[in-house]
Chains A and B, each alone.
Chain A
Amino acid sequence: MSTAPNLLSVVDLDKSYGGVHAVRGVSFALKAGEILALIGPNGAGKSTCFDMLNGQTTPSAGRINLLGQDTTYKKPREIWRLGVGRTFQITATFPTMTVRENIQVALASYGRRLFNFWASMPRLAQQEARDLLERVGMAGYAERPCGELAYGDLKRLELAIALANQPKLLLMDEPTAGMAPRERIELMRLTASIAREKSIGVLFTEHDMDVVFEHADRILVLNRGTLIAEGSPQDVRRNPEVRAIYLGEGLVYDARHREGQSA
């Protein structure tokens, strides 16, 4: 994995809103198939980082390179065209359509067929849509109105939508926020298995340390806009600075300890 080229590389990213310096000189890289977590306390600058990667905010300084292209000032939909799927902290789907139609719209957009005024959309790309739903375990929900889904299912639908453009990179902003503990683990396992299988890079932010330490290959820790630690879950867990400002001195998640308990 270390010899693989970088999928995403971020150099000296900076963002100020008026007097607030939200992100200061953040640099990191992400390789294909790697699952990278971006963590930090509230207000650390995680969302701002995400918005910049995604094209929703333009950085004050620094560069973003995605799949060999400079995307620093690109729009969200241009970045999507390059092969980036994304899910939102608060799910964004199309509530007046069925689950299958949600996927079909994304597929039609990927196939550049949106300016087709004549074809019947419900009949387009049915098989591909079914495959994607199958992949996230929602095949049985295809004809349900999306507005009726439970929150955990919406999250999985969002994942399926994000996979419609056969992405090389997934950007997931708090993928498990608002879910029950067991559902969280399930969703992240699913994401991780898809990422490994298709060698998709994943960058996600998360507050649930169980999820982070179980699934991330590498962790970036942000505090007050600055990257204060970077490394494997073990390294980050042992880092005294991270402990002091973020994880706290008390109960610290330990994978071996947990495995011992559940065994």
Chain B
Amino acid sequence: MAFYVVQFLTGLASAASLFLVASGLSIIFGVTRIVNFAHGAFYMLGAYVAFTLTERFSGAIGFWGGVVAAALIVAALGVLVEMVLLRRIYHAPELFQLLATFGLTLMVEDLVVLIWGPSDLLGRRAPGFKGAVDFFGQNVPSYDLFLIGLGPVVLGALWLIFQRTRWGVLVRAATQDRDMVAALGVNQKWLFTSVFALGVFLAAVGGALQIPRDAVHHAMDLRIIVDVFVVVVIGGLGSIIGAFVAAVLVSELNAFGILIFPKISIILLFLVMAAVLIVRPWGLFGKPEVTARRTPGLTVNPWRPLSSKGRLAAVTALLLAATLPLFAGNYALTVGSEIAIFVIFAASLHFMMSVGGLASFGHAAYFGLGAYGVAFLAKMAGLPMITCLLLGPALALAGAALFGFFAVQLSGVYFAMLTLAFAQIVWSIAFQWVEVTGGDNGILGVWPEKWAASPSHFYWLAIGVAALAVAVLRNIVFSPFGYALRATRDSPRRSDAIGIDGKLIQWTAFVIAGTFAGIAGALFAYLKGSVFPDSLGISLSVDALVMVLLGGVETVSGAVVGAIVYKALSIFLVSQTDLSKLILGGVIVLVVIALPKGIVGVLETIRQRRRPRPEPPLLASRIGTAE
């Protein structure tokens, strides 16, 4: 019995930091409508800066002074980021905001390693809370008790700020209707900046307070951000009390999940999240999103199937690509195969993101499931390669069918957060369930059979499958199904009023996209000869997003171009520098700010400008009668 109580208390203590970070994210979202992906990075920075301050300068300001000073420093950094970066993208589609803040996260990850080194740092204990309290024979660290008390105190303080101060009233007003608040003469810029500062401050405090409990390391940002996303999805974005309740719930689930499913404790979390989403899609304390911004909206060029000239160009490009083995070495062919695989992966995400308006932040889950599917079939069942390639993606299909069903119940940022959380859950299963997946060691020895073993043969296989996949997906875009999918993206109200079952259409699109991602993953497993949990990781999901964005999210063929450019660039960068994340993050931020239409989008605009369409004669007379 005492053991369970102690487990419960440990859960409550973990909830404190989680609540601090989640409430910060929620407050920022409430006012600015930005889901700050970089919130985990600020949390991590809080921990690192506090480590330095408490280790080096503890004489001057003491431990607690160090925690507060660290949070203030990070909050100041947050203000800088808000003023330099976020102010430029408040009106951009939310996908771009998520990506920009993710780019920031990547940069911070490399910077942290650069400054503090790659190894884990063990901080000191908090003065006054060094001991443990004996609890029916079990020890509970007294610092945990302090954290348990801190959560409600912060909740109360936030409540006071929002109810009793003028600033708090403005923030609440802006959360309900920020345009109205601006119309009333409130300086929106500084309101946004101050809200962002408070949110970042909370995240940094949350990070700083972790020092006595846990080692400081450079992956703690992604670990917390997934938990935080789960918390805000369950609690409801924008609700502080929701963040508190959900933080406790999630922490307790983590604490007790280990007792029930020791190997794959995360399943319990998934089940609870799924249950909440079915009953209350906007979280326990959240409100339904009123203004759903359309993800696209940068251009109104209607999509056209390829003309005969375009087809010819595509076939020529493919034939040229097929001649690569005649003059290139094995390394180039391996790189070529990898690029072809990523063309499939990017095209599959593009299909659901551009055509369906479903920006998945966890598309790697299905890539990885395809790869693991092949690995299971090849290693355990010993099936031939062709059979594995055909059946392996079925695992991705099944995963997409399961997760997609829940994900399409939501839209916009909720959809993005939920897909990310699902992907992270799949990753955790692959990582924790060592008996089946090999855990971190992966599954080795998934080699292609003789007919595809040579680099040139495998390369031809990869570009052949890629060409076929892209052609099939393109064809679906211009099929009635593709139009129905675009219709649900363009106007849910209208598509509902003409009998389109939007959720069913979106779910189907999710499954199609997942299956194609699985095909890419299946090839990838044979290319590398092995499968690791990395194939399901967040960074791979974001790679796909950047490829689509770089190519042009509002074009039909942007994903192909984006994948080729991005993959070639990143393979080159990784071979040249250790700071690939820093550069990549910088590239993402730059693309979002300077090139929101992507490469193909820019090319189309230029072509459009060169060929001005004749003004339709009817337009003039219409305007004449209008007033």
Contacts and interface: CB of A to CB of B under 8 A. Distances in A.
B480 interface: yes
Interface stretch (A9-17, A94-102, A188-196, A208-216): A94-102
Contacts, number: 125
Given A105-B484, A150-B622, A180-B625, A121 B478 contact: yes
Interface residues of A, number: 48
Contacts of A117: 475-476, 479, 481
Interface stretch (A107-115, A126-134, A234-242, A251-259): A107-115
Interface string B466-478: 0000000001101
B486 interface: yes
A94 B475 contact: no
Contact of B627 (A95, A109, A180): A180
Contacts of A76: 496-497
A101 B487 CA distance: 10
A121 B479 contact: yes
Q: How large is the interface on B (under 10, 10 to 19, 20 to 34, 35 or more residues)?
A: 35 or more
B483 A92 contact: no
Overall SS of chain B's interface: helix
A109 B300 contact: no
Interface string B481-499: 1111011001101111111
A81 interface: yes
Nearest to A78: B499
Interface stretch (A39-47, A138-146, A222-230): A138-146
Contacts of B481: 114-117
A96 B300 contact: yes
B626 interface: yes
A152 interface: yes
Among A94, A114, A150, A183, chain B packs the most CB atoms within 10 A around the CB of A114
A99 to B, nearest CB: 10
Interface stretch (B196-204, B271-279, B301-309): B301-309
A180 B623 CA distance: 11
Nearest to B491: A92
Contact of B483 (A97, A153, A165): A97
B500 A95 contact: no
Nearest to A99: B302
Contact of B497 (A80, A140, A148, A182): A80
A120 B626 contact: no
Contacts of A145: 300-302
Contact of A161 (B498, B501, B508): B498
A108 B305 contact: no
A124 B302 contact: no
B622 A97 contact: no
A150 B490 contact: no
Contacts of A65: none
B320 interface: no
Among A77, A94, A162, A180, chain B packs the most CB atoms within 10 A around the CB of A94
22 contacts: A77-B497, A77-B499, A92-B493, A93-B491, A94-B495, A95-B300, A105-B483, A105-B495, A105-B500, A109-B484, A116-B480, A117-B476, A119-B480, A120-B479, A121-B478, A150-B622, A161-B494, A180-B625, A180-B626, A180-B627, A182-B625, A183-B626
Interface of A: 54, 76-77, 80-81, 86, 88, 92-98, 101, 104-106, 108-110, 113-122, 124, 140-141, 144-145, 147-148, 150, 152-153, 161-162, 164-165, 180, 182-183
Given A77-B500, A120-B478, A152-B626, 20 more contacts: A76-B497, A77-B496, A77-B501, A93-B491, A94-B486, A94-B494, A96-B303, A104-B483, A108-B480, A110-B498, A113-B480, A114-B484, A116-B479, A118-B479, A119-B479, A121-B478, A122-B478, A152-B622, A164-B498, A165-B499
